[in-house]
Structure 1
């Protein structure tokens, strides 16, 4: 167990500007109010403030395994890979138990609107033709806080997913537990995130991709600024309890990435086991795997009919979405944010 002495929360919360609030409300990206937190100004929903200190002081176990990322960076893919390696390739359980049951989502409570569960239900029913309130109520446990819910009673090893940056995670995480962080080219993240906001109907995003890019690049999407998020993890990449991965490397050479994760977790795979895991994790099979693609949410009317959780799984797909102005803007944004660091995203050419 880690040091369980409770420490005061070290960061201040402050309001977003009226201009930022107006822009967000105009595009209706998320149905709740935002605050910024800490010196980096990470954008969080107002409800995060209620549990921020509990997360920061979360008692950890040495057997805990965290999978973290800025969202839409390959988190689900990495979660499945990590879980299977740590669970001795138990494909039967992996295929029969939804990933959202195998992992605790640390800040899932942030996704509940300011109106609470009742307001959340109302928003879903307005956005969906086939909303099933009774079935949805059975899933409310996933919308609550794992800090005050199931996390403390989960058997070891606990698998924990989070999109929080390093500074907002439990303070002694790398002194106690293991973490796998996955990063992806921010232009591809933006495209995937855009489709994500259109998939989950409670977000209600109705804008164009260009409008979405403006929000993302302007640090007005959840847990932006993006580069600060990635750089916090990059700075810890040499810690023995941290494994930093690039989505592009998984796409380019999945067997090599599998062995990196296996080595990190102290596991050994033979060639046949590696080939079987590659087959399980192939995008073709992943798209068909109901345990990882949130299809249970579709049955409750939460997902848009014309969007999918697991999409193309490709790298460099941003080129199909960016016009010349956006391309130049993105290149300057990336260059400005990486100029004082040795962080570089793998080429997708």
Structure 2
């Protein structure tokens, strides 16, 4: 509903998972069951059912010309690119970066759907009564709706989403700057696996191979992966779209910083670029306490792990490698999309 009480327009069909499929997908959770799962739109993007609470608000979100979006499929280097974009847009405000968590500098539009279940709200209630300030901050975050917070936030706003362009406001690219970062899906899957295995109290009971099968069969949140990425890829020539590859950032970070600066209309000296690249190096970046507020539930920085490319080779058996080759070929057969340094 809008503030005026009128029903918000939402043009996409929503289908719930069939009972047998839902039972299979929910096996991975060790705690109280999460929401049911749904598929949205003609491409069948997968979300928790709680997404429906926020989807119309997101689709009808009132954009501003000075909004900056960072979008991606999860675990594609989003946090790294968020920091880069924010720093460049804010003239390398190192003090602000240190003192303001990234989760406060960016609003994550569909955040609320992740915590729309009894188990998470019980954690939030528990943490809100704690004497630990970090836990109190996390409790407030778990109870918040970023799309509502963002609507009332002063400009300029920085916004994160893992949604495909089709589920974001229709005038997004004609109104705002959008940076999309894509990563080889095999590395995405490994990063996703370690992410969900690390977060305390939210642990999954699943093996990598099981998660891989959910991923390639479009049974994991935000899948289908390639549809998400290709929606941005096809709009890469739009003047308000900057499409980045995670692998390119790893290979030549200074060039990526310069591309982002040019895209945002910022001028940087070589010294400024060099200092920012040092700030963004994974050795320094992973140590930053200002990135997220999740230290209350995990001793690790759950959004920044190794910062490597090609690590999937250590985890995939021969069957998975062949599945990956076939799956990628099938999904890219009619597209000019290609990952840097792609190998069969």
TM-score, scaled relative to structure 1: 0.90
Maintained 8 Å contact 1:199/1:307: no
**Contact kept in structure 2, 1:287 and 1:311, CA below 8 Å:** yes
State yes or no: 1:28 paired with 2:25: no
Structure 2 residue matching 1:23: 3-state secondary structure: helix
Deviation, 1:213, is: 0.9
Question: What whole-Å deviation, never above 9, does each CA across 1:233-278 have from its counterpart, x for those lacking one?
Answer: 1111111111000000000110111111000000111110111011
> Does 2:256 correspond to 1:262?
no
Aligned residues: 333
Structure 1 runs (4+) deviating above 6 angstroms are none
SS of 2:54's partner is: helix
1:118 matched to which residue of 2? 121
Within 1, Cα distance between the matches of 2:332 and 2:68?
29
What SS does the corresponding residue of 1:39 show, helix, strand or coil?
coil
Which of 301, 307, 314 is the equivalent residue of 2:308?
314
Matching residue of 1:48? 51
In the other structure, the counterpart of 2:284 is 285
CA RMSD, Structure 1 to Structure 2 (Å)? 2.2
Q: Secondary structure of 1:161's partner?
A: strand
How far off is 1:134 after superposition?
6.8
Instruction: Give the direction of change, closer, same or farther, for the CA distance of 1:310–1:117 in structure 2 (3 Å limit).
Output: closer
- 1:297 equivalent to 2:294? Answer yes
Residues 33, 114 of structure 1: 8 Å contact kept? no
Task: Give the match for residue 326 of structure 1.
Answer: 320
- Do the aligned partners of residues 331 and 272 (structure 1) sit closer, same or farther apart at CA in structure 2, a change above 3 Å counting? same
The equivalent position to 2:338 in structure 1, one of 332, 344, 349, is: 344
Q: Which runs of 5+ in 2 are unaligned?
A: 1-5
What is aligned with 2:172? 173
How far did 1:151 drift? 1.2
TM value normalised by structure 2? 0.91
Tell me how far 1:17 sits from its aligned partner. 2.2
Question: Does 1:183 find its partner at 2:182?
Answer: yes
Query: 1:280·1:286 contact (CA, 8 Å) conserved in 2?
Result: yes
**How far is the alpha carbon of 1:145 from its aligned partner?**
1.4
List alignment gaps of at least 5 residues for structure 1.
126-130
> CA–CA distance in 1 between the matches of 2:322 and 2:130?
45
* Contact 1:316/1:348 (<8 A) preserved: no
